[in-house]
Structure 1
Amino acid sequence: MIHEWHNSDLSPLLSLWLESTIYAHPFIQERYWHDSEALVREAYLPYATTWVWQEHGELEGFISVMDGQFIGALFVRPALIGRGIGKALMNHVKQRYDWLSLEVYQKNERAVKFYYAQGFRIEESAWQEETRHPTWIMNWQAGQTP
């Protein structure tokens, strides 16, 4: 079900990213995400290693790691949240890296709790000027006790 994405057509990833990111961030204007799509398509996804969860040929979730350490994306189709897809994708990358970092909006409490349950710990806070919202920088290291 999980495999690395090698398709040069990023539109399925972008479609799932847009649907999921709007759902996960109701505190940010939807227009911001539409305006960010080109940046995700041109500057992030092509330079990340991405693994996808597919069922019956349908893309249901994906995780992207940039620079061998930064989780730039972890998205699951909203209707399937809570079914273990995000955890499976996270475990998949944790088997391949010894240290991972990510940035998550502080108001995205569901994601913060999820990452904490996966062994990530808050290291610092940051401010996203574009959205005018604070974030947490969270890290995970292999072998650390959760």
Structure 2
Amino acid sequence: MNICQVNKADYPQLLQVWEASVRATHDFLTETDIQYFKPLILNTYFDAVSLCCTKDETGQITGFMGTADNKVEMLFIHPDTRGKGVGKALLRHGITQLHITEVDVNEQNEQAVGFYRHMGFQVVHRSPVDGMGKPFPILSMVLQPA
């Protein structure tokens, strides 16, 4: 699977993938929450990380990952391509090429927690709130040596 760098022209498509993914996996978020986060994602969070993505044969972005230092800050897969290895390809790229060893994940997103566990991460800390103080528990996970 081809991993591509992202540029600002890709941001609107990344936001579409983000929203579709969140609606498919983050059932604990309300519509108000999603609308609150959308401009932050587009105007602040994308610029705060190094972004890479996967694209299908038509050039449409199928998933993306944002990293900073040795940490996955965001990993979102379009629901139409879930279960097809996109997340694994992005995370493996992060581990092997970017030396990723950490990720924070919403505890209520059980599919993501299971995915990271399957990929070798273990929970090392739990916070009852997210980084903005909202009541969405966060699990800090660390990659365990193979």
TM-score by length of 2: 0.88
CA distance in 1, matches of 2:97, 2:118: 19
Deviation at 1:140, TM superposition (A): 1.7
Is the CA contact 2:72–2:100 (under 8 Å) kept in the aligned structure 1?
A: no
> Who is 1:31 aligned against?
32
> Who is 1:50 aligned against?
51
Structure number having the greater strand percentage = 1
Quick one: which amino acid aligns to residue 125 of structure 2?
E
CA distance in 1, matches of 2:44, 2:7: 17
> Who is 1:109 aligned against?
110
Identity %: 25
Q: What SS does structure 1 have at the residue aligned with 2:103? A: strand
Is the CA contact 1:28–1:131 (under 8 Å) kept in the aligned structure 2?
A: no
Is the CA contact 1:18–1:34 (under 8 Å) kept in the aligned structure 2?
A: no
Which ranges of structure 1 fall in alignment gaps of 5 or more residues?
A: none
Structure number having the greater helix percentage = 2
> Who is 1:65 aligned against?
67
Quick one: which amino acid aligns to residue 22 of structure 2?
T
Is the CA contact 1:50–1:62 (under 8 Å) kept in the aligned structure 2?
A: yes
Question: Cα deviation per residue 1:44-78 (whole Å; 9 max; x = unaligned)?
Answer: 11121111100121111001102x12211111111
**1:133 and 2:127 equivalent?**
no
Q: What SS does structure 2 have at the residue aligned with 1:139? A: strand
CA distance in 1, matches of 2:81, 2:61: 11
Deviation at 1:99, TM superposition (A): 4.2
4+ runs deviating over 4 angstroms? none
Q: What SS does structure 2 have at the residue aligned with 1:44? A: helix
Quick one: which amino acid aligns to residue 117 of structure 1?
H
Quick one: which amino acid aligns to residue 93 of structure 1?
G
> Who is 1:95 aligned against?
96
Quick one: which amino acid aligns to residue 140 of structure 2?
I
RMSD: 1.6
